[in-house]
Structure formats: C-alpha cells, structure tokens
Structure 1
Amino acid sequence: MDTQDPYDDSETPFIPTLGAKPRPTKGRKLSRRTICAAVAGISLLGFGFLLLKPSSYLDTQDVPSYSAASNSSSYLQGPPTQRFRDNLRNDTKYITSFSSAGWTNDVMTYGNLIYLALLTERIPIIAKFLSSHIDSSEPPFAFGEVFDVPRLSQAIGIPLLEWHEVKDSESQVFDDLGGWSVWESVERYKEDPRPRESPIIDRLKLDISWTRTPDWVKLTPPDVIDDHASFWSLATLAFPLARSESLGLPNRPSPQHHVSLPPDDQLLCFDFLYFIGAQRPWEWEMDYSPAWRFVGQHMRWNVTMEKLADAHARRAMNVPADEPVPPYISVHIRHGDFRDQCRGLPLDQCFASLSIIARRVSEVQEELHTQKGIEVTHVIMTSDESDPEWWSEVRALGWTWVDYATDRTEEIYGKWYPVFIDAIIQSNGAGFVGTRGSTMSNLALRRVQTWHNGPTRIVQWGRPGADDH
C-alpha cells in the first residue's frame, strides 16, 4: 500500500445521530498555562462576548467577518480592477498558482506557493479555496476567511495578496497570461501529459498559455515515477538566466484567445504546486520541512473562525461558557475512500480497531501527565466514518464529538464549516492521534506539536497487526 495518498482530501465530517452523548465528569485539574492562555486570549482579542453566550446559541451574527491585510493596498495600484494587470505595480513582482486537490492539500499547495515566494522575493497572490470535495455548488472560500493573513504576513516578513483584492470577482474580462506548467514535466511518463486544470482559473477569467517547465525541475531521478518538482529548480525560473534558457520549450496556446505567450515575468505563474519538495517527496510529513517551518506553522486560524470552533468544542464537552476550555485530546480517524486501499481485505482487519486507537490515546494521556503534569480525560473524535455501531463504540469509550446536526452548523453557516471546525479542533488539542496517510492528520499533528508542544501519535493500518508495537 502507498505511504501517502496523493489526492488526500479533507473529508466531510460524518455527523452521527446517536442521541445524547454522556456528560464528561467534571473536576479535572487544569494546567496554569492552559488557564492563562485562555484568559489572555479572550482579553487580547476582545471576543469574550462570543464565549459568554448560552451554549446552545448559534447565530448568523457569528459568521467571521473578513478584512484583507491592512498593508496590501501598498502593493497594488488601488481597488480591484476589471483586468488584473491594471492593478499591478510596475516596480513589483508577483507569483501565483492554483488549487485543485481537496481542501487540506490546497492548504499545503498555498503553503508551498508562499514558500516559493520567499525564495524568489515575490509577492504571492492567493486564489480562493474550491469546494469540489464538499459540494460543487458551494461557493469558493477566501484564504483570509480561514487564516489570519496579517499575522502570517508579519511572521514571514512579506505581504500577501488575494486574487479578489487584485481583480474584481465579478469581472467578465478574460486576461491573457503566460504560465509555467509543472504538471506536464513531472507527469511526462504518462501518455499525453497536460497542464493541471483548475476551475478557479475560469472563475478568475484567466486565459493562460502554458509553457512546459524543463525536465530538470523534477525532484526525483528521471526513472522514478513520482510527481514532485524541486523548490529551487522552480525558483530559478523566476530569474533571467534560467527563464531565458527555457523559453523555447513546448508551449500551448490559450484556450480562449488562442494566443501563445511566454511565461510572464511580472506575474510568475505555475499551474500546480502541491507536489513540491526541497530534498524528498512528501516533505510536509518531515520535521525539517522548509514549507512547514518557514510558512505552514505561521498559518494560524482567522480569529473569529477559531472562536466559532471553540464554541462547538465547548458544546461537545458540555463545558459552560463561563468556564475555561479544558485541555483535550483530539483524534482524527479517516476511513471513507481509504477503504479502496484495503484491496479486498475485510475492513475489520484493514482498519485499526477502536481499542488500538484507545491505546494510542492512552499513550498521549500518559505523556501529557508525565511531561506536563496535566490530567486530560476529554477526547474529541473527528471522522468520516458513517457506521452507527462504530460511533456507539466511540461513545462507550467516554469520548465525544461535535454534533453539527444539532448545532445546525451547515444550515446556518454553510457546508464548508464542519471541515474547518474539525481542523481547528484537531489543531487545538493538548495532544493528537491521527491516521497514517491522511494529510489532514499530518497537518493536525504538525500544529499540535508546534503550537502546543503536544504529544502526538499516528495509527497504522492496512493489514492485521499494522499498529502492533
């Protein structure tokens, strides 16, 4: 079985309807650090009023209000224009790319884009997230409605722009643009490789003429079947020498105006940047990952989005609004399409049992007790599993989950929100237990380790005894 699913989407959380969940026992000892952090955060951010509402209260008033980075206007000519180029400054260079791999992978794609912007000293322009993995009828979601753009910009030392700041979202003008197709180069072992398509390109009304990147951008040796390109190889194309030497490579006319354009120098454009690494494939799994260290760890949640997730977590743990949020262990168990990787093996032999997962949770609890002196008994499960019996066993363990149906989360906010809230709850655990091969689990693990110095475990699966240790 592959060690990583290259198209791993953040699955839509399943909403079990098993009746009321047991109220966890009160009286747990909270760490001084947890209490101080909660109090300071509420005071600093001024959103305490959200937490003082009755625990059953959810209202459209709580929908996060988004404002762009305060300094973004300094790097544009002004408000969004009908043609993107009319809004770019002549003394500034930019970089962009597009998403098309499911939300968690799209987060990583934009992390890679921003890291490449650091390497090339350009300003990234970030497109919206697509909802193809949730419901194609759901509108795209702005990067800054999920992540704290001003904080990220300050942390990494460069400004960040979003496409809706550059070009009017309602514009019907197709802009000509020359771009580099990484996908054609890394997929050249396939018959008739083509540039990676993304519906967001049409939404932005961009008419792109793609030029294939040189074969040497591939990260792994030519005889290795792998889709990864190298960060620094791509970065060289932002500079005159490598760019000029590569302009003669195969070029595809744009689909709308049928023009053949060289890759743009002012707006460096790549078709797809998910499969990018510095030293090896799947680097977001590695502790040295440069995209994580220099960008990903600074992609903190939009404050109001995090408050909304906090309110859901409180209800899941039956914690009154006037009490500090207790430490909890977050768990992410992905089954869903992973069933396809069982290759006919019965699911009860392929997937790790809840008893195995509970053993991993116990290890995290013990590590929290030994290293931090924290007794953590709250456990919040997030999963796409749909078997009611499985969820009944989760309840029997004394664990809990967010009841999105009762909270009317999708009805009030939209279908994106359970995915976002699950990711935020996972990231804010004092410890975390996840599923091998899931990028959603991997990002949650990175966040818990980096943001909270929390212990983590990854559950192995795919064969009987896979997680024996």
Structure 2
Amino acid sequence: MDRRSDEFLLGESPTREAAYDDPESPFIPTFRAKPMASVKGRKRPLRTICIVLVAVSLLSFGVVLLKPLSYLDIDFEKAAVYPATFNSQSYVQGPPTQRFRDNLRNDTKYITSWISAGWTNDVMTYGNLIYLALITERIPIIAKFIPSHVDNSAPPFAFGEVFDVPRLSQAIKSPIIEWHEVKDSESEVLDDLGCWSLWESVQKTQSHPRGSFSLNWLKLDVSWTRTPDWVKLTAPGVTDSHASFWSLATLGFPEARANNLQSTNYPSPQHQVSLPPDDQLLCFDYLYYMGAQNAWEWESDYGPTWRFVGQHMRWNASLESLANEHARRAMNVPVNEPTPPYISIHIRHGDFRNYCNDVPLDQCFASLPVIARRVAEVQEELRTQKGIEVTQVIMTSDERDPEWWSGVRALGWTWVDYTTERTEEIYGKWYPVFIDAVIQSNGAGFVGTHGSTMTTLARRRVESWHDGPTRVVKWGSPNADDH
C-alpha cells in the first residue's frame, strides 16, 4: 500500500510530516504499578549455550554476528566487547583540535550533517547520514544528540554513549568518527565551512536552510549553497520533502559538484564569507527526509538505511545494562533469576491529540482493550511459533491521564517508575527516553502506535534482533483498529 494513502489521519505535508517529528518523552505516572509475580523456575534455554559458543567462535575471528544476541541470551555483566577494528584516531591527525580543519587528513574525505527534530528522528537522520557515507565512500562525522524534546538544560549527548560505535563500524565495514574527536568541545574558535542547503530544494514553505543548534555547539559559521531541484525524490508537483540518496551522492563527486556550483549561495551569518560547498568535508543541512525509491522507507522491508546501517546500530553496552536493570525492577525479577521474556508496548498520545480534530479522544485513540487484543495476538504468535509463554508486559507511553494508567495496571501490565528510580536525578534528563527505547527494542514481541517513528524503530529492532512478532495499533477514528 502506498505510504501516503496509509496515513489516513495525518493528512498531506507538512501536517503529515509534523507527525513524524517525534518529540515525545516518557510520562511518569504518579503511582506505582502493583508488583507482578516473578517468573520462577524458568530454565535458561539450551539455545543460550549454543549462541554463546557461536559468538565466542565468531568473535575470535573478528567476524560480525549475523544475528544479534536476543533478550534471553544477553549476559549484561559480560557483554561482548567489539574491538575497534576501525580506530577513529587513524582517520584524523590526532587529538581534537581548536579548528576542525587542522585535524582532518589530507588523504581522506568526510561527510557530515546535523539534526533538528525529536530524538528518534535524529537517530534516523544519522542512519541516513551513515548510509550516504557508504555510497559516497566517505567517513561520516557524527555530532552529539541535542535536547530537542528533553529539557533544554540537558547537555548534548554523544552518539557513542548511546550506540556501540565499534560494533557498528565493524558491521558496516567503515569507520565512524564523532565531532568531539575532531574538534575540541571547549574550543571557542568559529570555523568557516561551505555546505549544501538541501531543505530549500525539497519543500516550498521555507526559503532558507534547515537550522540546527548543533552548529552553535560546534561553533560552525556555514555558507550555504542551495542544491539543485533535481535532488528531490518525488515529482515537482508532489507535496513531499524527501530527497534521493543517489542524487545527493552525485554532489560528493567532482563532476556533479563542479556543474552545480553556480547555484544560489548565502554568505555565512557571522563572518559574512561566501564559500562553495566543501569538497573534503561534504555537508548537508538536513538528511531526515531521504529515500532510495519512495518516501518513508524506514517503514519498508527493503529500506536501504535500515538494511545496511540501522539494524547494526546496537545499544552501548552500559546503556543496555542500565535499561535491563530498570526493566527487571519493573517486573520484580529477583536478583538471582534471568530476565524473563516480555512484550513491550509503545503507546503515543501526547501531540497526536492534535490530529484527532473533532473526534473525541476516547474515540480517536485505541482503547486499552483494543491494545490488549493486539498483545494477545503477539502472545499467541510467540506461543505457537516459538513455544514461548510470555506473560510479562511492559508499557511505555507519554499518556498523562492517571485513570488510563490505572487501566494499564488493571490489565496486569507494568512500567518503569522513573520517579521512584530517581533516573533523571542519578543519570540525567536524557535517560528515561533512552531506557524506554531500549526496553521497547528488547521485547520478545512488540505492540506500537501507527504513525510514530519511535514505534517504527522499536518494531524494526524487535523483528530484526529477536525475530519477534509485532503489531501496530491504528487510531484516529472509532473502531480504526478493527480487523
């Protein structure tokens, strides 16, 4: 089914695209879930022993695992350490410098871009950047995540503190560098840089490059050159903001670059210098809306970014261990027992209320019994296809209604109580968002919300990493999820 026709509620761009800017953060209920009975006497399956032995053998030869360890098999105290096959320091001159240019190697070409949406969309943007790096044979330089939907007082958060960069580099067979490895994070030097403005060419509502607070953190003064209109993925008359991967890739090579330098150029805002797009450091303003054949390809099984990059973006071991500890406490698992399989749920309400229009919320959003029906379908599939009886269910949501959460509790489901855990106080404001994402990804099965990119990534991870069944709950009108 065509992606646009499937978005029955979200309408045409830019309204539809706004729904995919996923700014949600977890809501913390004001009451605790009732303790749930722990799973006792559950034996660790024989599959665990086999996978561990295979993993050790493969790692000894430096081979990337084709199928990641599942939630049942992870020993968080002895997590596999992937060697830095691509040592980032080999692709810069040395330690971070005051000016980024001083640390780039003359024999190496790089690519970068920046973020300006909710965290989930920023993850997808960086996935697109890394895929574009692969097809242009350049080294991606990844900036830190910025607090676009957590408290603005939260500091930027390094990509490598969320994702296992050595493992990712090994899987995609290409190095990845982070900006703080190139330029000193404390530098006060404002660097000049020429970049391509993609945003102007793919949408008609804004006649300027897409901004990002990352440029302020990195102290970059950018002179923008508009990309040619032919980079747009869809036909000129189609209202959509996606660009073509391969159209952009051509601008990373000499001929297409030279033939398009006459495009509109804007002097940098502070130094007022006009620079052509940099050849050594190829850069674009915004890479969220990207596709190879169609828009919204993260939703499609052939989507190249997920296939070649996204599925290899596994969690940093420390973050995954922390999320596992939170999940175990939510399920009241004794210290000496393994983490039981569970079904993860992601229900997004929050800003989706804006798309209900005149439909009352209790008819717009899927009810808890409707969600429970989807959970039962996942449980049945796990039972019949894998022989796993999964009774534990963990809810993640931005819903704020205490009565709704009481209904969640009445179903026997649980959630992480970040207030009681003092998660933000101990670890920082980013962590409830991160932990929710990890818990979602490590379900034996998953149930999510139609139209949310957080659901999209959780669904992809459960299907790819754990071969788990998933369902997506539709909403927007009475009985929208009837099937």
How does the TM-score come out when normalised to structure 1?
Answer: 0.93
Partner residue of 2:304 out of 271, 290, 299: 290
Are 1:299 and 2:340 matched, yes or no?
no
Shift of 1:32: 1.4
Deviations 1:317-363, CA, capped at 9 Å, x for gaps? 00012111000000000000000000021001000000000000000
Shift of 1:21: 1.5
Paired residue for 2:61? none
Partner residue of 1:41 out of 65, 68, 75: 75
Deviations 1:216-269, CA, capped at 9 Å, x for gaps? 000000000110000000000000111011000000000011011000000000
Are 1:316 and 2:324 matched, yes or no?
no
Q: Is the Cα contact below 8 Å between 2:85 and 2:170 reproduced in 1?
A: no
The alignment partner of 1:332 has SS state of strand
| Aligned-CA RMSD value | 1.7
Are 1:331 and 2:345 matched, yes or no?
yes
Paired residue for 2:26? 13
The alignment partner of 2:285 has SS state of coil
Listed as ranges, the gaps of 5+ residues in structure 2 are: 1-8, 50-68
Deviations 1:393-444, CA, capped at 9 Å, x for gaps? 0000000000111110011011100000000000000000000000000000
Paired residue for 1:77? 93
Counterpart Cα distance in 1 of 2:32 and 2:73? 33
Shift of 1:70: 6.5
Listed as ranges, the gaps of 5+ residues in structure 1 are: 48-66
Counterpart Cα distance in 2 of 1:107 and 1:40? 23
Paired residue for 1:366? 380
Aligned length: 448
Q: Is the Cα contact below 8 Å between 2:88 and 2:175 reproduced in 1?
A: yes
Q: Is the Cα contact below 8 Å between 1:328 and 1:379 reproduced in 2?
A: yes
Paired residue for 1:165? 181
Shift of 1:136: 0.8
Q: How does 1:222-371 map to 2 (within 5 A)?
A: 222-371=236-385
Counterpart Cα distance in 2 of 1:215 and 1:414? 42
**Structure 1 residues 33 and 350, CA, compared in 2 at 3 Å: closer, same or farther?**
farther
Are 1:416 and 2:430 matched, yes or no?
yes
Counterpart Cα distance in 2 of 1:464 and 1:285? 25
Partner residue of 1:402 out of 401, 416, 420: 416
The alignment partner of 2:400 has SS state of coil
How does the TM-score come out when normalised to structure 2?
Answer: 0.90
Paired residue for 2:54? none
Paired amino acid for 2:282: L
Q: Is the Cα contact below 8 Å between 2:86 and 2:170 reproduced in 1?
A: no
The alignment partner of 2:196 has SS state of strand
The alignment partner of 1:271 has SS state of strand
Shift of 1:68: 8.6
Paired amino acid for 1:138: A
Q: Is the Cα contact below 8 Å between 1:34 and 1:327 reproduced in 2?
A: no
Q: Is the Cα contact below 8 Å between 2:185 and 2:218 reproduced in 1?
A: yes
Paired amino acid for 1:174: L
The alignment partner of 1:270 has SS state of strand
The alignment partner of 1:458 has SS state of strand
Shift of 1:24: 2.5
Paired amino acid for 1:193: S
The percentage of counterpart residues that share the same residue type is: 72
Paired residue for 1:441? 455
Deviations 1:339-393, CA, capped at 9 Å, x for gaps? 0000021001000000000000000000000000000000000000000000000
Deviations 1:277-330, CA, capped at 9 Å, x for gaps? 000111101111000000000000000000000000000000012111000000
